[in-house]
Amino acid sequence: MSTATTINQLTGTWNLDPSHTRIGFVARHAMVTKVRGNFNDFSGTAVIGDDLGSSSVEVKIVANSVDTRSAQRDEHLRSGDFFGSDEHPEIIFRSTTVQETGPNSFEITGDLSIKDVTKSLTIPFTYEGSATDPFGNERAGFEGSVVVNRKDYGINWNAALDAGGVLVSEKVTLEFEVSAIKA
């Protein structure tokens, strides 16, 4: 049973549920296909105010938890060619503004930090609904995605292909499928 029909009714503090949330990415590979990956270790909190504009979000991702279902590729992604997870163990997003764009849509603008590079970006989200689960937890669902240029964050590695083009696209889609539990 749904407990809130719009995001404005979700005031309070909400924590990401890692076992029901996906933070992932999609990048074009070899110019002909896409590779999808996830981060398996992260935490996050959203504080939703009476006025959505007074809300805030913070997410911390363990860079070493990258998982593309290929051990060799994951090790390369953890290396200095990509995330440099030994020197830069966390990827952090902190909101600067939250703005309602419709009854069940909003944008979160904030600072994304990867490898000591921080850039502002805006992520459009939709509120998918809320319900009380069988254990008495109030849950809310959100989905969003945004395209970033990985080179903006100092992730420059690539390899040229014999037929032209490169092995890994510069543009990467970040995907968020969020289940949050009210604190």
Q: Beta-strand (E) ranges in the chain? A: 12-16, 22-29, 33-39, 42-48, 56-62, 66-67, 90-102, 105-114, 117-132, 138-149, 168-182
pLDDT of residue 3: 61
Kindly state the DSSP code that residue 69 receives in the 8-state scheme. S
The alpha-carbon radius of gyration of the chain (Å, integer) is 17
pTM beyond cutoff 0.75: yes
Cα angle: 71, vertex 77, 81; to 5 degrees: 135
Q: What is the pLDDT of residue 111?
A: 98
**What are the angstrom distances between the C-alpha of 48 and each of 27, 54, 81, 147?**
32, 7, 37, 25
Per residue in 41-93, pLDDT (tens digit) is: 999 999 999 989 999 999 999 999 999 999 999 999 999 999 999 999 999 99
pLDDT computed for residue 77 by the predictor: 97
* Token pair listed for 45: 């909190």
pLDDT at 142: 97
Q: Which residues of the chain have pLDDT under 50?
A: 1
